[in-house]
Every structure is written in structure tokens, then in C-alpha cells.
Structure 1
Amino acid sequence: MRLILKLVSSLLLLFIIFSTIYFLVNRVPDRSVEQLKPQWAQTPSQFIEITGMQVHLRDEGPRDDAIPIVLLHGTSSSLHTWDGWSNALKDHHRVIRFDLPAFGLTGPALDSNYSIESYSRIVIEVLDKLEVDRAILVGNSLGGYVSWATAVFYPDRVAQLVLIDSSGYPFQPESIPIGFRIASTPILNKLMQQVLPRGLVESSVKNVYGNPELVTPELVERYFDLTTREGNRQALAELMPKLRSGQLASRLSELKLPTLIIWGEQDRLIPPEIADQFHHDIVGSQLVRFNELGHVPQEEDPLKTVNAFKAFLAQQTKVNR
């Protein structure tokens, strides 16, 4: 009996030692916006005040573009996910993209309100601040949900809609990135606010790519850095329970505007059959599938996906002549 107790005590001591070492090695405190700005807020980044927040935003392209394109990213992402699209569009279109509350350099909402209604109001307040009457909303994942919800709540402000692997329906994922699982788990999500192994971030990003080999160290660095923005990890834990409720899906049939749906067939987070639901419920919508791409197709293959968007724009221009 004494031998067993001694063995258990030794194992417990080893566990405590290794846990302490692991914590110290992987401890990553929150970082301030000022620390992150030199790398992630270079020109043409700007910050505008919206409901007390300093929203990180990029506004590029010709200002005389009557209906700008607004690009909205997904959960734990940032405006940088649209770099390829912005570069391909800004010569001929005004392109606006910003970090949604709880993410990127914008950081947590001051009131911790992460309802879809609140996100939609933020979009409208950004448009008001930039004196934009109507826009084409393009959104990936959570950004897609925010986009179509904004079109439901404020139909006069949205001219066209593009949904890329959008959320908004209840769904059963095939695989959830480990970072999302931890953020949804009590106690572990508290630990994540202090401990963030780089490997965890890399695994999470690879999980949403159709081809994980395309995930570069530079890409992992971006996701890692912006996750550590002050307050973002706590905000992620607060908003995760609200992301899969699907309470607004019954109103999708109200949408009567030109809509393009883009989907990566290798999406293991939001299944491809959800694309069919959007296509069915939004009458007259178009659906373009990419067999080799995952949950963030606009980032994984900007050229192919933006070309589908350009074709949609050209078609709408012909229709409106």
C-alpha cells in the first residue's frame, strides 16, 4: 500500500512539474493594440470610433464608386483574410473591410454584446461613418451570417449579397478546430486566456483549409498574433455559444436581392449541404462550388474565388443596364 501511495505521489509530482513547465513555456499574455500595430496596421489601415470602440478598417479604391464592396471576415479571423480579394478589386471598386468586434485589432465590444443584431448594427454604423448609403456585402462564415442578417434587418442598405461558407443555420460539423473547442469549454477557455501554444493555432487554421499544406508559418503568425490582442480570447469564449443558434434562418426567404453563394466542398466545419439550404431559401440566388477548397476559400485561393465574384458583378451590371 505504501508503495502504491509513493508511486501515485511521484506521478502527481511529475504531472505538476510538467504542467508548470508547459504553462511557463506556452504562456502568452494579452498584447496591446500598440504592440501589434507596426505589423498588422500598416498603411492603409485606419481606426474609426464606433460605439466607443476603435474599429480597425481599410478603405481602398476609387471614392466615386457608387456602391462599395464591404468584406466581412469569420470567427477568429481579421480583415487580412481578404488581402487577395482587395488587391484584385481595388483598382476599379471601392473596397471596405474591417475587423469585427471580438477579433483582429478592433477587439472586444465594450458591452460584450455579440448578438447577430449587434453585429448588424455595427455594419450599418460603419457605413454611416463612411457616408455609404448602400453596399455589396460579402461575408465568410460568421461574416456571412452578419452580412445576410444585415440584409434582413436593413434591406435598403444592401444592394447585393455574397455568402462564402456562411453560418446562420443550425449545422452538424464534421470537424471543429481545436481552438474553437477549447473556447467553448468552461475552465479550458479560461486557461486559453493565458496559455496559447502556437501548434494549437496552426492546427486550427489547417483544419479549415481544404489543403493544409497551403498554411504557411506567416499565416499562422498572423492568426496567432491577432488572437493575443488584448481581450480577444475572453471575447471568443463569450460569443461561441451564440454562433450556432440559427434563430434567424426562418427569415432568409425575405431576401429579394441578387445573391451569390460560394462554397468550399472540403469545408468540414459548415457542411456543403448548408450551401444548398441557402440556395433554396434565397430565391434566385446563384451557387458556385469549389471542390478542392475548405471553409475559408477566399483566403485559400483568392484568385479563383474572386473571379467567381467578378463574373457575378459583371452579370448584375448587364441586368441593370
Structure 2
Amino acid sequence: MFIKKFSYVRRGSGHPLILLHGLMGKLSNFNALLDFFPKKGYQVIIPRLPLYKMPLLLTNIYSLSKYVINLLIEIEIEKATLIGNSLGGHIALIIAKNRMDLVHSIVLTGSSGLFERAFGDAIPKRENYEYIRKKSQEVFYDPRIATKELVDEVFHIVNDKKKGIKTLYIAKSSMKYNMSKDLSVIRQPICLIWGRQDHVTPPEVAKEFHRLLPHSELYWIDKCGHVPMMEHPKRFINILEKWLSKFDFNRENLFCRI
């Protein structure tokens, strides 16, 4: 593998929850889950995806999926629940398709893989701070979630030449890797948690995932955009905890209780 050293946060013990952030996301997007689930008997692991550390020719969604697979093997994690937002959900689906032995179940929220509205093919007006602020706010139902710190970070990424190019490479590889013909082979239980006002991966995308994934359940969060675990963390956690409670993770074969 082109990256030998893995970077991740790990907390708690028990059934592993692997949290996968999006292209413009970061580990702190999952702070609420990281605080909550280790107290409930789960092991929470958040990989730092090497978005800007891969060679340019390997900067794509498949390589990111391979990185997570190698991390799980390295730290001896099997039958995990993968929880992915946006690009992270797409990565989770690729892992489930290629290494089902590593995956017990999947949680998708605002996932790419079928359709997404891109930030911009060439990120026009990238030097215009107000443009970046507006585009960042559109990710959320409540624009106040897009704090100055968050906007500053996005502005820095798109205006850093190397990071900007790699961001576009990953985004284009994600759009090219459409999974509509692959989803029927993913047999693991799937939980879809979607914002009703998601403008990046609109509600129609969630409904299509639900139709194509054989063992999926769909849950909605109202007044919510593309990143539900940030915008409505309590509601997100409530849905997720109830869904996870269906499984007896202590049994060897991890059969569902119902």
C-alpha cells in the first residue's frame, strides 16, 4: 500500500463502529457519536482518510476504500458497522461489495454512489470568500452550522493548489464510480438516515438507495441537510441506537434478534 502508516481515533470496546467522513468533512463531524457510543458498549474508530497524501494517480475513491480495508485488517477488525457520510458512505459500499467478510452492517447518511450535486467541477470563484461561504451554507438546512471556522477550512482547501486538484480528482472518481448495478449484491443490513432538505444528495437519492439495497431501512430527519449527525446529532443518535439494538453482537454469528 502506498501509505504505510495509518492514522485514526479509537475509543471504547465492543462491537466496532467505523465512522467515515466526507470529502470536505473531518473527524470532528462525528464528535457526538464519539462521545455517546463508547459509553454504550461500542468501539468507535474514525480513520483520518488520506485525501491529500496519496500520489495523484492513486487519488481516487477506490484507493481510499483500499486504505480503510487495510486499516481494518491491520488493527484486526472484522464484522464492523460502517457509518459513512457523503463520500464516506460511498467508501463503505465499495468495501461491503469487495470485502463482505469485514462488514456486518452499514449506515449511510447523505451518501454518494448514485448521484450528488458537486461543489463545482472547476470550483469557479474559488478565490471569492463569499462564494465559498454560500456554497458551504448550502450543505446545511440551518446555514449557521457553517461556522466561520468551517468556511475558512473549505476556502483554504480549494485555494491550495495541490489540495484543490486532489479534491477534484476524488470528486470526479466518485461521480464516475456509480454503484446502481452493484447494490443488489450487498446483502448486509443497511440503515439509511437522510435529511429531508438535503440538496447535495436529495431525498430521491435516499429512496433509490432504499429501492436498490435488498436489506435497507430508511429514516428521515426533518429540517436537515446533507450532514445529519452534525445538524441534528441527538436525533441521529436516537435513530442509530435503536437500529443497532436489533442486533445481538455478543453472539458468534451476529444474528438479528428479530
TM-score range, shorter chain: 0.7 to 0.9
The equivalent position to 1:139 in structure 2, one of 81, 84, 100, is 84
1:317 equivalent in structure 2: 248
Alpha-carbon contact 2:157-2:164 (below 8 Å) kept: no
Query: Is the aligned partner of 1:94 residue 2:39?
Result: no
Equivalent pairs, count: 251
TM-score, normalised relative to structure 2:
0.87
- State how far apart, in whole Å, the 2-side matches of 1:151 and 1:94 are: 19
Query: Is the aligned partner of 1:278 residue 2:227?
Result: no
* Matched position secondary structure for 2:175: coil
Residue 218 of structure 1: how far off its partner (Å)? 3.7
Residue 201 of structure 1: how far off its partner (Å)? 3.8
1:4 equivalent in structure 2: none
Alpha-carbon contact 1:136-1:158 (below 8 Å) kept: yes
Task: Structure 1 unaligned segments of length 5 or more: list them.
Answer: 1-49
Residue 198 of structure 1: how far off its partner (Å)? 4.3
Query: Is the aligned partner of 1:159 residue 2:104?
Result: yes
Query: Is the aligned partner of 1:124 residue 2:69?
Result: yes
- State how far apart, in whole Å, the 2-side matches of 1:53 and 1:221 are: 30
Counterparts in 2 of 1:11-160, with a 5 A limit? 51-52=2-3, 54-62=5-13, 65=14, 67-91=15-39, 92-102=41-51, 107-160=52-105
2:252 equivalent in structure 1: none
Q: Could you tell me which amino acid in structure 1 is paired with residue 30 of structure 2?
A: W
Question: CA 1:204/1:156 → structure 2, altered by over 3 Å: closer, same or farther?
Answer: same
Question: CA 1:218/1:239 → structure 2, altered by over 3 Å: closer, same or farther?
Answer: closer
- State how far apart, in whole Å, the 2-side matches of 1:130 and 1:112 are: 27
Q: Could you tell me which amino acid in structure 2 is paired with residue 116 of structure 1?
A: I
* Matched position secondary structure for 2:188: coil
Percent of aligned pairs sharing the same letter: 27
- State how far apart, in whole Å, the 1-side matches of 2:43 and 2:237 are: 15
1:68-101, Cα deviation, whole Å (9 max, x unpaired): 1000011121122111111111222111112223
> In proportion to residue count, which structure has more helix?
1
Bigger-Rg structure (1/2): 1
Task: Structure 2 unaligned segments of length 5 or more: list them.
Answer: 250-254
Counterparts in 2 of 1:136-285, with a 5 A limit? 136-170=81-115, 173=117, 176=118, 180-181=119-120, 184-185=121-122, 196-224=127-155, 231-285=162-216
- State how far apart, in whole Å, the 2-side matches of 1:228 and 1:55 are: 27
- State how far apart, in whole Å, the 1-side matches of 2:161 and 2:8 are: 18
Residue 268 of structure 1: how far off its partner (Å)? 0.9
* Matched position secondary structure for 2:137: helix
- State how far apart, in whole Å, the 2-side matches of 1:120 and 1:302 are: 26
Q: Which moved more, 1:298-307 or 1:220-229?
A: 220-229
1:25-74, Cα deviation, whole Å (9 max, x unpaired): xxxxxxxxxxxxxxxxxxxxxxxxx6336543211112xx2x31000011
Alpha-carbon contact 1:108-1:231 (below 8 Å) kept: no
- State how far apart, in whole Å, the 1-side matches of 2:214 and 2:87 are: 22
- State how far apart, in whole Å, the 1-side matches of 2:129 and 2:6 are: 26
Residue 238 of structure 1: how far off its partner (Å)? 2.2
User: What's the RMSD between the two structures over aligned residues?
Assistant: 2.5
* Matched position secondary structure for 1:288: strand
Residue 303 of structure 1: how far off its partner (Å)? 1.4
Q: Could you tell me which amino acid in structure 2 is paired with residue 132 of structure 1?
A: I
Residue 306 of structure 1: how far off its partner (Å)? 1.5
Residue 114 of structure 1: how far off its partner (Å)? 3.4
TM-score, normalised relative to structure 1:
0.71
Alpha-carbon contact 1:60-1:96 (below 8 Å) kept: yes
1:202-240, Cα deviation, whole Å (9 max, x unpaired): 323211001112332343345456667883222112223
